[in-house]
Structure 1
């Protein structure tokens, strides 16, 4: 049986990095499957933005472009950046951060 160099490299990296990080978000199944900093799958898009604390774009350098959300409880899950609800949630979170920064600046003056 012949194994390509790419497949062998992948197996070595997968073994070295260990099992994928796992967290759950209203589900008993693992919601986050990451190799390094990239998402390997998406979680169901049904989530409430008010339960999100932060997000990180995982697009450049990753096979699967994704948005990695962190909930208020610290759970993480990956969502597709192509889903409109994901885009709206990111916009809402950015607006809330800008508003918070304005309030902090006013207090400092």
Structure 2
């Protein structure tokens, strides 16, 4: 008797799990590039980049550039222009980091003494 009640509940649970996996609910791969852009990427508009591939849950290997207006551009990681742009962004980030480390913390300016005349 209990088996008659338990079996439909078990089937319902299994069907729910299959549907949620098929829809990709709970996966981090919802923001994957599906193809590479064929247009040249202007260097002045790009703010950062990230790599995408099977290790991030995506089928296509790509470099995802983020523009200053927060738009995403997918590019081929094997392209020479893309490699050059990645090196430029890495260099810019490294320079900004080293500048931040070498700057002294700002303090209040010292009061100047008034000269008596």
TM-score range, shorter chain: 0.5 to 0.7
Matching of residue 57 in structure 1 with residue 51 in structure 2: yes
Root-mean-square deviation over aligned CA pairs: 2.4
Q: Secondary structure at the match of 1:97?
A: helix
TM-score under structure 1 length normalisation: 0.65
Question: Equivalent residue for 1:91?
Answer: 87
- Where has structure 1 moved over 3 Å in runs of 4 or more? none
TM-score under structure 2 length normalisation: 0.61
Matching of residue 40 in structure 1 with residue 34 in structure 2: yes
Residue 74 of structure 1 deviates from its aligned partner by: 0.9
Task: Looking at secondary structure, tell me which structure has more strand per residue.
Answer: 1
Going from structure 1 to structure 2, the CA distance change for 1:66 and 1:77 (only over 3 Å counts) comes to: same
Task: Looking at secondary structure, tell me which structure has more helix per residue.
Answer: 2
The structure having more radius of gyration, on CA atoms, is 2
The equivalent position to 1:102 in structure 2, one of 92, 98, 107, is 98
Taking the aligned partners of 1:47 and 1:97, their CA distance within structure 2 comes to 19
